[in-house]
Structures are given as C-alpha cells and as structure tokens.
Amino acid sequence: MPFSFKDRNILVTGGAGFIGSNMVKSLIAENMVTVLDNFSAVDDRFLKPLAGKNLKVIKGDITKQETFRKLQQFDMIFHLAANSDVKHGSSDPMIDVNTNDTGTVNVLEFMRRSDSREIGFSSSSTVYGETDVLPTPETYGPYRPISSYGASKAAGEGYIFAYSHYYGLRGSIYRFANVVGTNSTHGVIFDFIHKLKKDPKNLEILGDGTQRKSYIHVDDCVNSMLYIHGLNRPTDVYNLGNTGTTGVLFIADRVCQKMGLKGVRYNFVPSKGGRGWPGDVKLAHLSIDKITSLGWKNRYSSDQAVEISIDETLKTIT
C-alpha cells in the first residue's frame, strides 16, 4: 500500500454496519477510530469484538446538526452512513433525501467548521442508471439514476466536489459495485439464505432471472478504498468493482448447493422490464481500469467473492 493509515484520528460514520465495521476492523490496530452510528440498521454486534482503547463509539444521527457539536477535528472521515435500502426508495424517496443528502451536507459542514480536511465517501454504481456502455467508466455521462438512492448518491458527490472547491477539502469518492462478505445484513445472498431457511423447497427470486451484476468482496472493497485515498491528491472518483459479472441464477444455484438443498423451485417475481424492483439496474458492470492502472488488483473475482460470501453468511445465520 503506497500510503500508511497509521497514527491517525479517524471518524467512520455508519461504522456499526456492513462495510463500516470492516473498515473499522482494518484501521483499529494502528489508528484511533471513532464510530458514529444511529444503530437503526444493526446493533453493535460487529463492534463488540473490536472494543479496546483505540475505539470510541458514539450513538448519533447524521441528519441532525447537533450530533456533530460534540465532535472535534479528525484527520480523516470515512462517510459510510446512508440509507442502504435501495428497494423501498420508490415508496418513500424522502428517506434517501434526508439520510443520504442532508446527512452528507451535515458531515461536510462539520468538516468545514472543525477544519477536518479529508473524506472518503461511499457512493454507488447506481448514480449511472442504466447505461449503454458496459463496463461503465467513471467518465460516463450524463448520469441518469433510476432510483432515489442513486440520485441521492449523485447529489452527495456533487456537494463533496463543491466543498472541495470552496474549502480545499480532499475527497475520494468510491462508486461501489455490489459489495458482499462478512457482516452483510442485506443483499441477494443474505435474502436467499433467509428465504430458504423458511422454505427449503421454494425460492422467490425478485426479477426475471436475467440480472447480471459485478460483485466485490468487502475485504477487497475496504483495502482498495485505503489504497486509493493514499494515492489520490485532488478530489476524484473511482469505480470499485470487478472485471467480470455474476448472474442471479448462479447465486441461487450456489446458495442451494452450499445449503445442501436439491430440487428447489425458483419462483420469479419481475417488476417492470424484468427488474427485481422499481429502480433496480438489471445489468451493472463498472470499468475498473482507472484503479487497476494505479496498481490495484482485487484478491477475488466476482464469482469468487460470491462463493466466499455465501460461506461467510451461512456461518453467521443460525
């Protein structure tokens, strides 16, 4: 890694969640880490094994400005807190506006007031919408997100660029593909396992079964975030994904196989255009040429990330 995250005072918003807890685990040995989380999506189960002198946990809501008044300057902020329930954006888009947009602006305002200079932001491949260029590079545009989640992430990116221009902040904006792995609390693998636990003979699959997306293991995701921010000087955007894609039926087959189930009936529930839900992007494949040109290489392929993540998720579900 070209830059060492060592002896730094770091804030991780959403640090109790899936990607956040893995980020904390990666940083905790050599840095002072403060987690800010409202624990609405998950309790502190992923943070308990990390408890020690280098970890401070604060319960707080990023949508409220008063949350930040108790905080002091940080060397680095990984802003990972967000409403991650992409499916339900069509029924209540204001959740994305309030949590993802207002929350991000509140983080940036705190940075401005406290003179905290560096931010890593969890954006998403959903900012692109349904593109006619696959794999999709960072230069693709104009953005046409088809979900309020994607729109809110695009807005968050815009505010980070604006604050960087106004106040000299340095930001790394990470557009995630589908992240899977340890501590996952949602997503297709998590959902399939839970559905099959309830009914081992039938599996409901949202969509028409033709969806293909790129998956990245959370270890590769977190390590690439640190790698890129170490190299990045001006505020810039990076796709974090994989060179290949994985189909939803491959995932269903592997989950059934690893659970020892045979003859499972697949029941498809497509919405408009065969999508899994309104706002779902059926074919998502990010170009990762930009990050690989800087020397980064994922440990796991898309299919491997899925396989490993099924095993990891099964271990945590009783």
CA dist., res. 270 & res. 210, Å (int)? 10
Mapped onto helix, strand or coil, the DSSP state of residue 215 is: strand
Are the beta carbons of 153 and 169 closer than 8 angstroms?
no
Residue 71: partners with Cβ closer than 8 Å, 6 or more residues away: 11, 34, 36, 58, 110, 114
**Pair of tokens at residue 220:** 């590769």
**Pair of tokens at residue 190:** 């998590």
CA dist., res. 256 & res. 254, Å (int)? 5
Instruction: Single out the catalytic residue among 128, 140, 143, 149.
Output: 149
140 catalytic? Reply is no
Residue 73: partners with Cβ closer than 8 Å, 6 or more residues away: 9, 114, 115, 116
Q: Cα dihedral angle (37, 39, 42, 45), rounded to 10 degrees? A: 80
CA dist., res. 317 & res. 255, Å (int)? 13
**Pair of tokens at residue 295:** 């020397």
Q: Provide the annotated active-site residues.
A: 149
